[in-house]
Amino acid sequence: MSASREKKQRQNTGPSDKSVKIQQEQAAQKRQTIVYAVVGGITAVLVAALLIWNSGFFQTRAVAATLGDETLTTAELSYYYHNVRSTYAQMGVYVGFDTSKSDDEQLQSENKTYRDFFLESALDDAQKYLALANEAVKSGHTEDEIKDQLDATISSFKAQATANGYSYNAYLRAIFGPYMTSDTLEKMVSRSLMAQLASSEKGTELYDGYQQSDLDAYYEENGDTLDTIEYSFLYFAIPSVDTKDEDGKEFTEDEVNKLKEEAAAETKKKAEEALKAVEDGAEFHAQADQYELTSDSNHGDHVKAVGTSSISSAFSEQLLKLGKDQCELVETDNGYYVISFHARYLDEEPTRDVRHIAIQAETTTGEDGKAVAPTDEAWAAAKDKIDAIQAEYEAGDKSEDAFADLANAKSEDGDGTTGGLYARVASGDTHLAPEFLAWIYEDGRAAGDYGIIRHSAADTDSNKYWAYHLMYYVGENEPVWMGSARSALANAALTEWMEGLVANYPAAQAGGASYLGK
Q: What is the CA radius of gyration of the chain?
A: 37
Determine contact, residues 493/202, Cβ cutoff 8 Å. no
Residue 15: pLDDT over 60: no
Bridge partners of 344?
Answer: 229
- For the chain, give the mean pLDDT: 87
List pLDDT tens digits, range 70-122: 999 999 999 999 999 999 998 877 888 998 899 999 999 988 999 999 999 99
Query: What's the whole-model pTM score?
Result: 0.74
Bridge partners of 358?
Answer: 469
Residue 501's pLDDT band (cuts 50, 70, 90): very high
Give the helix/strand (H/E) hosting 421.
strand 421-425
For the ranges 45-54, 313-322, 423-432, which has the lowest average pLDDT? 45-54
Determine contact, residues 416/352, Cβ cutoff 8 Å. no
Residue 425: pLDDT over 50: yes
Q: Helices marked H in 178-335 — which ranges?
A: 182-209, 212-226, 253-279, 284-290, 316-319
Residue 345's pLDDT band (cuts 50, 70, 90): very high
Residue 403: pLDDT over 90: yes
- The reported pLDDT for the residue numbered 49 is 40
**Mean pLDDT, residues 452-458 taken together:** 86
Determine contact, residues 336/342, Cβ cutoff 8 Å. no
Residue 50: pLDDT over 50: no
Question: For the chain, what percent of residues have pLDDT higher than 90?
Answer: 73
Residue 335: pLDDT over 50: yes
**Mean pLDDT, residues 308-315 taken together:** 94
Residue 249: pLDDT over 60: yes
For the ranges 46-55, 276-285, 299-308, 351-360, which has the lowest average pLDDT? 46-55
- The reported pLDDT for the residue numbered 279 is 96
**Mean pLDDT, residues 434-443 taken together:** 93
For domain 350-479, the CATH class is alpha beta
**Mean pLDDT, residues 406-429 taken together:** 90
Residue 373's pLDDT band (cuts 50, 70, 90): confident
Determine contact, residues 150/189, Cβ cutoff 8 Å. yes
What residues contact residue 297 under an 8 Å CB cut-off, 6+ apart? Answer: 235
- The reported pLDDT for the residue numbered 459 is 55
How many other β-carbons are positioned within 10 Å of the β-carbon of residue 32?
Answer: 10
Residue 184: pLDDT over 60: yes
Residue 41: pLDDT over 60: no
- The reported pLDDT for the residue numbered 57 is 58
